[in-house]
Structure 1
Amino acid sequence: MSSGRALTGTAWAVLVLGLWVWGRDAAEVPLGSSAPITGDIAAVGRPLGEPLPPEHDPVGAAEPRRVEVPSLGISAPVVARGLDGDGAIDPPPYDMPHTVGWYGSGPRPGASGAALLVGHVDTDTRPAVFYGLSAVRPGAAVTVTRSDGSVVEFTVDDVQVLPRDGFDARKAYGPRRPGRSELRLITCGGSFDREAGAYTANVVVSAYLTGAKGMAAGR
């Protein structure tokens, strides 16, 4: 997500379309499998025949404090965020381009459901925390250090670039499997539409819990 360039909350507005999936009974509805993504929405599909690690049972809920994607060199603090005045997810301030925002009204990473982490892709002058996010590969590890001292590890399932036009919120943010602990890493993608003051798409990385260490693992 960019700062300036006549940008307000518009670039984030598409994210609000998915917030309802954390309400009511969305977590109980299967929204597809972890099958390979194909077609022009795919950034990185899973190599055919390459197995991914088995899922880990959800662990006790604790707030995220830091997220790391070692294969991309990402290591960033995480802060809880709510909604802004337009009803979109309020991202970290533009003067904190290397901080990741967690949608605090949704699931916590490691608990059952799909937790949402959002970050800027760039600023007016430099890349930001999720600049290289679209390059992450299926099978890559994502670790989240939590407030109880535990570390939960997720495995990337797939990467999608979803255009704003015809955006499917359930596909982007809904859990792939009921009762499973999942994670979404989201930033802007596509091209920057100067007239609209927004990017044309969102990069959505989907991952699922495959390990836990520390306090959470024993609960």
Structure 2
Amino acid sequence: MTAQGKGWLIAIAVCLGVWLVRNGSEPVTPPMPSAAEAFAAGPGHHTEAAADPLPPSAPVRLRIPGIRVDAPVMRLGLGPGGALDVPPSGNGNVAGWYKDGTPPGAKGTAIVAGHVDNARGPAVFYDLGTLKKGRRIEVSRRDGRTAVFTVDAVEVYENADFPDRKVYGAADRAELRVITCGGGFSEKSGYQGNVVAYAHLIGVR
């Protein structure tokens, strides 16, 4: 995401879930991506095949069949501290799109974020860390088209090492980032990082 009057997003504030299941004395936290799902050597793609970008149109629904996600998409802005706002914590099955950025399917890097859990339990992107390269992400748009993306990689980053330029940087084709909480967990401060799925447009319905 380039500095379109906003600058880099300095944080993703979707790590407010307070749910933690305990199995004996060991906390059970959301699954994390394996090294096999990361980029092999810096940014790269399992396939270079890509569809031509679409004209801008707001997203209305997101589906990730491989992890059983089917959720409405709401608009998100930036909070006072420059962090991306979050969907309502009481609704676990909703994703949020950064409304001042690129719409999914248009040229550039679109950002979608959502909770990993909330006080009631797992939320919309709880299983994002299990997503595999080559799986599909489908975004229904207000113009009636569905943008179909393929997953290039899924990586996890600690907050202190979050690669802003890699995640938010401008793209010459239609790309998508799906982001939720991940990394280690602290009972005092919550999740210590983020899981990011990288994808690019391969088709339109």
TM-score tier by shorter-chain length is: 0.7 to 0.9
Aligned to 2:132: 137
Deviation at 1:51, TM superposition (A): 5.0
SS of alignment partner, residue 166 of structure 2: helix
- 2:81 maps to what in 1? 86
State the secondary structure of the residue aligned to 2:117.
coil
2:152 and 2:199 in contact (8 A); partners too: yes
Write out per-residue CA displacement over residues 51-93 of structure 1, whole angstroms, 9 at most, x where no aligned residue: 5361111011100000000111100000011012332111111
CA 1:96/1:167 → structure 2, altered by over 3 Å: closer, same or farther? same
- Structure 1 CA distance for aligned equivalents of residues 186 and 162 of structure 2: 16
Which runs of no fewer than 5 residues in structure 1 stay unpaired? Answer: 1-18, 27-39, 214-219
Please tell me whether residue 191 in structure 1 is matched to residue 184 in structure 2.
Answer: yes
TM-score where L is the length of structure 1 = 0.74
Instruction: State whether structure 2 residue 62 is matched by structure 1 residue 67.
Output: yes
CA distance in 1, matches of 2:49, 2:197: 18
Amino acid at match of 1:173: Y
Which of the pair is proportionally richer in helix?
1
Partner of 1:45: 38
Q: How many residues align?
A: 176
Gaps in structure 2 of 5+ consecutive residues: 8-32
Q: Is the 8 A contact 1:153 1:211 kept in 2?
A: yes
TM-score by length of 2: 0.79
Q: Percent identity?
A: 39
Amino acid at match of 2:191: Y
Q: CA deviation at 1:172?
A: 1.9
CA contact (8 A) 1:22 1:106 kept: no
